[in-house]
Structure 1
């Protein structure tokens, strides 16, 4: 296979699988954080991810509030993406190695979702006029997503007036988690 075709194939597989895995992970994380189900972005994620999840939920029950069918779907998609990219590069990956690499990659993606959402929420808060958070469906979801992560930090940090340092502390902690995941 020519180098250009190989690179294009890896790019397309990586992009398409990553976008769908992102949708599944976001749906799962938003459900765990009890975000507004009727938010337009939540509805988009439900619509996009519902067809395979409807089938999986017939055989994989939820574990409390955790949507195990969505996690299994994300894991299978990540394993498929990794296997296809390895196949394009002509590298064989043993099943257990494929499983472990996929689990670590999903964990990294979850950490990056939180890092990026915290940065967006923090920057948006600088431009927020008169508490317009509830009027923007995207910022409303970010607040719902990040609140379970930020509230314990806010309780531990001393009050600094109008400056909220909890996103900074959370991002530092999440980067430490990324360092440990990178070591795996």
Structure 2
């Protein structure tokens, strides 16, 4: 907890922007409503660094890897700045491959964390206000529905009870524990 305030600010800003970039990718992948005000805000905030890469890579259908690549770069730069502030660069050189792998693992962990909280939100919304017209619940349900549909293929609803969130939570926890092991090496 005794962290340098500048390091905390850099880490927080980097993680927020990586979150926005990953969310943009996931919303595109889930074919969420592009005209939803929240989607529009995410696109507007992430468009400046993504646009040049989109021109270079040309998205294929709904799969646009540009936000993920920018998220990877932002994560790597954030980590590099944090290591530099901590004085780690003065003691030893940082292997660029290790930095790239660590950044990729962190981006994957961000994807899993977004889905974890989105599934919790979707479950709560389904109990409280399943037919809400507010943009946030609609976007949340659009983001999680492809994941629920995939899980329902494995565990179909039993007597009207949908157990797919439990399977999703289990898979996310297993994947995150394995990512933690990967970082330990």
Q: How big is the shift at 1:105?
A: 0.4
1:111 corresponds to 2:133: no
Q: CA RMSD in A?
A: 1.7
Aligned pair partner of 1:66 in 33, 57, 63: 63
Distance 2:164 2:117 in 1: 14
Question: Are 1:183 and 2:181 counterparts?
Answer: yes
TM-score, length of structure 2 as denominator length: 0.89
1:169 aligns with 167
Q: Find the counterpart in structure 2 of residue 132 from structure 1.
A: 131
Task: For residue 77 of structure 1, give the secondary structure of its aligned residue in structure 2.
Answer: helix
Unaligned 5+ runs, structure 2: none
SS of corresponding position for 1:59:
helix
How far apart are 1:41 and its partner, in Å? 0.5
Which residue in 1 is equivalent to 2:28?
31
| Unpaired segments ≥5 residues, structure 1 | none
Comparing 34-43 with 53-62, greater Cα deviation is found at 53-62
Output the CA distance in 2 between the equivalents of 1:65 and 1:157. Answer: 27
1:4-23 matched pairs, under 5 angstroms: 7-23=4-20
Matches within 5 A, 1:36-51: 36-51=33-48
In 2: Cα distance, 1:78 partner to 1:60 partner? 20
Find the partner of 1:151 among 142, 149, 152: 149
- Pairing 1:83–2:84 present: no
Q: Is the 8 A contact 2:157 2:163 kept in 1?
A: no
Instruction: Render the CA deviation track for 1:83-132: whole Å, top value 9, x for unaligned.
Output: 1111111113211110010000000000000001001111222212xx42
User: In 2, distance between residues paired with 1:170 and 1:45?
Assistant: 25
Cα deviation code 1:35-59 (max 9, x no counterpart): 0000010000011111111222222
TM-score by length of 1: 0.90
| CA shift in 2, pair 1:158/1:27, >3 Å | closer
Runs of 4+ residues over 3 Å off in structure 1: none
Cα separation, 1, equivalents of 2:108 and 2:83:
20
